[in-house]
C-alpha cells in the first residue's frame, strides 16, 4: 500500500499587540522616518501587523500554534515523532528552536530540527516532512513556521520596516493511505543572496556586520512573480493536475500585488486566493500556515479541497506544495 502524508490539524498564533499602519507611522515619525497608511496599503495591501512583547521568543509563538494544531488533529505532544520549525529568527544561534519547542511541549526523543529557507521555510519543511513520512522515517510530524521579524527590522528604513510582522502557524502531518500531499517542488539560487538578507553574524563575542534586514524590494518583486509561476506550473504537472483543479491558492503573504500577479498568470480568480497579509503583514516562514489556519477556521477551506501552497524568499528560495486537505 502506498504511504502518503496528510494534514490532520492546523493552528496559529499572533502576539496580542496589533500595530496598525497609523500606529507604526506615528512611531516612525518620532525618529524622523516618514510613511503613511495610504502608501503602505496601496503598495502592499498591509493594514496592520502584530509585534511580540519583549522577552517573547520564536519558540513561545511556535508553542501556542503547535498546541492548537495538535488539538485540531486530536493528538497530544507524545503522539509526535518529528518536529521541524521553519524560522529565520530562532531563539538562539543554537540549539534549534525545534528542540526548545520539543521541551516546552513536554516531550523528548523524537528528531527535532530547524529549517532555514526564510519565507519559503514552510513549503520546504512540509516537503521534507512529506518525504520522511513517505519513506517510513516518521508517522506524525509537527511542522511549524514561526517568526519574530520585529527583532531584525531596521526602524530607520521605511522601505522594509513597514512590511513585516511576528506570528506562528503549525500543522500536524500524518502518515495516511489517502493522499494528502500530491506533489512538491523546491528550488534555490544563491546568486541572489544580496537582494534579501540579514548580513550580520556572531563572532568572538560580537555581532559582525549589520544584524538588520536588507532588501532590494523591486528585485525581489520581479524575481518572485516569475519563479512562483514556474513552481506552480511544475508542481501541478508533477501531480498530473491543472490550474482548474485548484480550489484554493495559499501563497506566501508578502504583498497583495505579488499575489494578484501570480493568480492572474495562473488564471486563478482572486476569490480562490487566501489573503491575510492585510492583518498579518509579512510573517516570513509563518505566513502560509497562518493563512491556512485562518482559512480553515473561517470555514472557507474544507477537508478534501485541493490547495496550492507557494513560498518565495531570501536565498533566493522558492517552492510549491500541492495537496488535498
Concatenated DSSP letters for 228-296? HHHHHHHHHHHTT--GGG-SEEEE--S-HHHHHHHHHHHT--GGGB---HHHH-B-GGGHHHHHHHHHH
52 is an active site residue: no
By beta-carbon proximity to ligand UT7, the closer residue of 12 and 282 is 282
Taking CB under 6 A as the rule, does residue 319 contact ligand UT7?
Answer: no
Among 97, 184, 255, 317, binds ligand UT7 (CB under 6 A): 255
Minimum CB separation from ligand UT7 for residue 306, in Å? 24
Taking CB under 6 A as the rule, does residue 282 contact ligand UT7?
Answer: yes
252 is an active site residue: yes
- Which of these is catalytic: 252, 255, 280, 324? 252
Distance of CA 33 to the CA centre of its chain: 28
119 is an active site residue: yes
Can you read off the three cell numbers belonging to residue 236? 501541478
Q: Which residue is nearest to ligand UT7 (CB)?
A: 217
Cα–Cα distance measured from residue 312 to residue 195, given in angstroms and rounded to the nearest whole number: 13
What crossing angle do the helices spanning 58-73 and 97-104 adopt, rounded to 10°? 60
By beta-carbon proximity to ligand UT7, the closer residue of 4 and 316 is 316
**C-alpha atoms less than 13 angstroms from C-alpha of 267 in its C-beta half-sphere:** 5
The sheet carrying 317-324 orders its strands as 181-188, 317-324, 306-313, 248-251
Cα–Cα distance measured from residue 88 to residue 241, given in angstroms and rounded to the nearest whole number: 33
Cα–Cα distance measured from residue 270 to residue 204, given in angstroms and rounded to the nearest whole number: 50
- Which of these is catalytic: 99, 119, 161, 324? 119
Minimum CB separation from ligand UT7 for residue 28, in Å? 8
By beta-carbon proximity to ligand UT7, the closer residue of 184 and 284 is 284
CA-CA-CA-CA torsion sign (267, 272, 278, 280): negative
Q: Which range in 65-73, 98-106, 170-178, 220-228 contacts ligand UT7 by CB under 6 A?
A: 220-228
Concatenated DSSP letters for 148-192? EGGGG--TT-HHHHTTB-EEEEEEEEEEESS--EEEEEEEE-GGG
Q: Which range in 59-67, 169-177, 214-222, 272-280 contacts ligand UT7 by CB under 6 A?
A: 214-222
Minimum CB separation from ligand UT7 for residue 277, in Å? 10
Taking CB under 6 A as the rule, does residue 158 contact ligand UT7?
Answer: yes
Among 220, 273, 292, 294, binds ligand UT7 (CB under 6 A): 220
With residues binned 3-state (H G I as helix, E B as strand, rest as coil), the percentages for the chain, rounded to 5, are 40, 25, 30
Taking CB under 6 A as the rule, does residue 44 contact ligand UT7?
Answer: yes
Taking CB under 6 A as the rule, does residue 155 contact ligand UT7?
Answer: no
Concatenated DSSP letters for 18-33? EEEHHHHHHHHHTTT-
Taking CB under 6 A as the rule, does residue 159 contact ligand UT7?
Answer: yes
By beta-carbon proximity to ligand UT7, the closer residue of 37 and 79 is 37
By beta-carbon proximity to ligand UT7, the closer residue of 163 and 301 is 163
Peptide bond preceding 320 in cis form (omega within 30 of 0)? no
Among 43, 47, 104, 272, binds ligand UT7 (CB under 6 A): 43
What does the binding site for ligand UT7 look like in residue numbers (CB under 6 A)?
35, 39-40, 43-44, 119, 158-159, 162, 196, 217-218, 220-221, 224, 254-255, 258, 282, 313
Amino acid at each position: 500500500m502506498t504511504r502518503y502524508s496528510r494534514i490532520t490539524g492546523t493552528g496559529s498564533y499572533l502576539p496580542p499587540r496589533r500595530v496598525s499602519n497609523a500606529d507604526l507611522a506615528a512611531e516612525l515619525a518620532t525618529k524622523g522616518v516618514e510613511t503613511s497608511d495610504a502608501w503602505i496599503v496601496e503598495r502592499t495591501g498591509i493594514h496592520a501587523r502584530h509585534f511580540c512583547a519583549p522577552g517573547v521568543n520564536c519558540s513561545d509563538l511556535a508553542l501556542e500554534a503547535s498546541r492548537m494544531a495538535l488539538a485540531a488533529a486530536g493528538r497530544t505532544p507524545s503522539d509526535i515523532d518529528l518536529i521541524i520549525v521553519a524560522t529565520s529568527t530562532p531563539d538562539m544561534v543554537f540549539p534549534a528552536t525545534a528542540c526548545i519547542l520539543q521541551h516546552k511541549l513536554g516531550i523528548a526523543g523524537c528528531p527535532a530540527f530547524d529549517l532555514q529557507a526564510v519565507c519559503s521555510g514552510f513549503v520546504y519543511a512540509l516537503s521534507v516532512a512529506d518525504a520522511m513520512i513517505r519513506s517510513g522515517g516518521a508517522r506524525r510530524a509537527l511542522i511549524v513556521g514561526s517568526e519574530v521579524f520585529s527583532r531584525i527590522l531596521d526602524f530607520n528604513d521605511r522601505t522594509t520596516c513597514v512590511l513585516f510582522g511576528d506570528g506562528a502557524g503549525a500543522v500536524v502531518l500524518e502518515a495516511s493511505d489517502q493522499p494528502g500531499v500530491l506533489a512538491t517542488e523546491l528550488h534555490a539560487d544563491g546568486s541572489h543572496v544580496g537582494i534579501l538578507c540579514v548580513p550580520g553574524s556572531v563572532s568572538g563575542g560580537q555581532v559582525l556586520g549589520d544584524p538588520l534586514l536588507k532588501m532590494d524590494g523591486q528585485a525581489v518583486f520581479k524575481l518572485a512573480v516569475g519563479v512562483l509561476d514556474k513552481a506552480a506550473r511544475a508542481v501541478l504537472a508533477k501531480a498530473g493536475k491543472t490550474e482548474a483543479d485548484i480550489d484554493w491558492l495559499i501563497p506566501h503573504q508578502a504583498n497583495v500585488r505579488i499575489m494578484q500577479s501570480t493568480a492572474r498568470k495562473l488564471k486563478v480568480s482572486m476569490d480562490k486566493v487566501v489573503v491575510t497579509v492585510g492583518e498579518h503583514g509579512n510573517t516570513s516562514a509563518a505566513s502560509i500556515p497562518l493563512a491556512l489556519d485562518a482559512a480553515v477556521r473561517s470555514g472557507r477551506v474544507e477537508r478534501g479541497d485541493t490547495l496550492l501552497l507557494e513560498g518565495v524568499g531570501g536565498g533566493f528560495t522558492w517552492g510549491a506544495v500541492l495537496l488535498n486537505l
